[in-house]
Amino acid sequence: MPLRDWPIKQKLTAILLLVSSSVLLLTAAAFVTYEVLAIRRTTLKNLSTLGRVIAANSTASLAFANEADATEILSALRAEPHVVAAGLYDKNGRLFARYPASLPGDALPAIPGRDGYRFEDSYVIGLEPVAETGNPRLGTLYLKSDMQVVSRALRLSAAIGAGVMAISLLAAYFLAAVLQGRISQPILALAETAAAVSARQDYSVRAPKLGEDELGTLTDAFNLMLGRIEDQNRELRRYATELEQRVTERTHELQERNEALRRNAAELLAANTELDAFAYSVSHDLRAPLRSIDGFSQVLLEDYGAQLDESGRDSLQRVRAASQRMATLIDDLLKLARVTRSEMRTELVDLSKIARDIATELHRSTPERQVDVTIAQGLEARGDVRLLRVALENLLRNSWKYTAKQPRPRIEFATVEGNGERVFMVRDNGAGFDMQYADKLFGVFQRLHSADEFEGTGVGLATVRRIITRHGGRIWAEGAVDRGATFYFTL
């Protein structure tokens, strides 16, 4: 496992151990080095002291070339077991005496070499001049000592160092193990809290705060954040609940409204079906008696006309006229019903063209009339072409009819602007009407003129209004008696 993935406790312990062991290692190295250097210096010093003592004692035996004496003096070196070899050279550099006495000749250098004490190979070598104070040199003392002192000291100090280090490391380890908790514990607590939060989605838990240091600040910040999230969550849940409740309420309302609409639609459908059946029945059954009335009146006139006086024949003619007017009324009513019932198909309708066609038809049907018809170009609207044709036909036919007594009849179809919307307009200079009765204009069977003045059933404008209303538009009229009428409508 790479270091970065270690648990923080082990990481901290490892770091602490690493730091303390490097410090200890350096310290121990310094200690051992110092020890070794000190021992070596002491060793040299001891050997030189010994050398000087031996040399001072050897002056006489050298001066008198007393070999036995010299050997005797050297044998005193037995007291110093580290000295493995020694030799006395005379002033000519010739070996004079040796120690131990059994030492082979070649164990000592042939010539003494440079004076002084030094380490050579794994021995300490000392060369001490032998002379009486203030007198010429008599010879040289050679001493050779092993390094057992040094190596023992080295071993000892190394052992001490190692021991101290081991104890120190052990202590460091325990200290680290205890002290790393100061840092790792708050972090572990944070980590545990975070894990708990993410595992249970429970934002009510809080990380324990273990101190006022940066980790304490971090814990505070973390807890504050948890608190905020908890608050926000609560808020969100509240909103969600409210929203859900509102949706439920609205859905319920909508369901109720839908139900009401469905009922209305069903009722409307039933009413429409009834109206349909009614209209169908009227269309077939109401006309038949009229046909009989008219027919047999005519039969009477044809077969018995001669036997009737003028008044009798006039009566029969009136019966016929009435039945025919009744038939027209029925037809107009059926047309009105059809306008209400028929299915609407919306498309772009060229109203100008329809108006021109109607005007052409009116001119052709009553060629004796000279009416000045003005139709604006390019008037278009979205709507049902058949219904709009019926509406325009009723309006233009009305104008055509009510301008009959006008010497210079004029009819105009155009648009005007009213309250920012386009308003269609059919205007004439005909008989007009009294504005006081304007609201009656569009009622079924409502007429503002008597039948002998102007013919009509009073259904036409009701039909027009029905059509405009079905297109979502409005219709109204302005006029004055003998000053013409203007019909406005929007689509």
Nearer to other proteins (CB atom), residue 130 or residue 279: 279
Q: Binder to other proteins among 22, 217, 273, 292 (CB under 8 A)? A: 292
Considering the rule CB under 8 A, would residue 23 count as an interface residue with other proteins? no
Q: Binder to other proteins among 82, 98, 320, 465 (CB under 8 A)? A: 320
Size of the site for other proteins (CB under 8 A): 22
Considering the rule CB under 8 A, would residue 415 count as an interface residue with other proteins? no
SS3 of the chain? CCHHHCCHHHHHHHHHHHHHHHHHHHHHHHHHHHHHHHHHHHHHHHHHHHHHHHHHHHHHHHHCCCHHHHHHHHHHHHHCCCEEEEEEEECCCCEEEEECCCCCHHHCCCCCCCCEEEEECCEEEEEEEEECCCCCEEEEEEEEEECHHHHHHHHHHHHHHHHHHHHHHHHHHHHHHHHHHHHHHHHHHHHHHHHHHHHHCCCCCCCCCCCCCHHHHHHHHHHHHHHHHHHHHHHHHHHHHHHHHHHHHHHHHHHHHHHHHHHHHHHHHHHHHHHHHHHHHHHHHHHHHHHHHHHHHHHHHHHHHHHCCHHHHHHHHHHHHHHHHHHHHHHHHHHHHHHHHCCCCCEEEEHHHHHHHHHHHHHHHCCCCCCEEEECCCCEEEECHHHHHHHHHHHHHHHHHHCCCCCCCEEEEEEEEECCEEEEEEEECCCCCCHHHHHHCCCCCCCCCCCCCCCCCCCHHHHHHHHHHHCCCCEEEEECCCCCEEEEECC
| Residue 289 CB, nearest approach to other proteins (Å) | 8
Q: Binder to other proteins among 9, 287, 356, 474 (CB under 8 A)? A: 287
Considering the rule CB under 8 A, would residue 389 count as an interface residue with other proteins? no
Cβ-proximal residues to 338 (8 Å cutoff; 6+ apart), any chain: 279
Considering the rule CB under 8 A, would residue 313 count as an interface residue with other proteins? no
Nearer to other proteins (CB atom), residue 290 or residue 336: 290
Nearer to other proteins (CB atom), residue 120 or residue 343: 343
Q: Binder to other proteins among 90, 294, 384, 393 (CB under 8 A)? A: 294
How far apart are alpha carbons 46 and 36 in whole angstroms? 15
How far apart are alpha carbons 418 and 395 in whole angstroms? 20
Contact 136, 59 (CB under 8 A): no
Q: Binder to other proteins among 5, 106, 285, 309 (CB under 8 A)? A: 285
Amino acid at 141: L
Q: Binder to other proteins among 3, 68, 288, 306 (CB under 8 A)? A: 288
Contact 46, 138 (CB under 8 A): no
Considering the rule CB under 8 A, would residue 306 count as an interface residue with other proteins? no
| Residue 262 CB, nearest approach to other proteins (Å) | 27
Considering the rule CB under 8 A, would residue 431 count as an interface residue with other proteins? no
Mark residues 330-369: x for contact with other proteins by CB under 8 A, - for none. Answer: --------x-------------------------------
Considering the rule CB under 8 A, would residue 49 count as an interface residue with other proteins? no
Stretch that binds other proteins, among 95-103, 184-192, 282-290, 436-444 (CB under 8 A): 282-290
Nearer to other proteins (CB atom), residue 206 or residue 386: 386
| Residue 467 CB, nearest approach to other proteins (Å) | 17
Nearer to other proteins (CB atom), residue 17 or residue 334: 334
Considering the rule CB under 8 A, would residue 299 count as an interface residue with other proteins? yes
Nearer to other proteins (CB atom), residue 90 or residue 294: 294
Mark residues 242-281: x for contact with other proteins by CB under 8 A, - for none. Answer: -------------------------------------xx-
Cβ-proximal residues to 63 (8 Å cutoff; 6+ apart), any chain: 132, 138
Stretch that binds other proteins, among 137-145, 261-269, 289-297, 389-397 (CB under 8 A): 289-297
| Residue 319 CB, nearest approach to other proteins (Å) | 11
Q: Binder to other proteins among 43, 219, 297, 463 (CB under 8 A)? A: 297
Considering the rule CB under 8 A, would residue 393 count as an interface residue with other proteins? no
Q: Binder to other proteins among 149, 327, 329, 376 (CB under 8 A)? A: 327
| Residue 306 CB, nearest approach to other proteins (Å) | 17
| Residue 294 CB, nearest approach to other proteins (Å) | 5
Structure tokens at 453: 């003045």
| Contact residues for other proteins, defined by CB under 8 A | 279-280, 283-285, 287-288, 290-292, 294-299, 320, 323-324, 326-327, 338
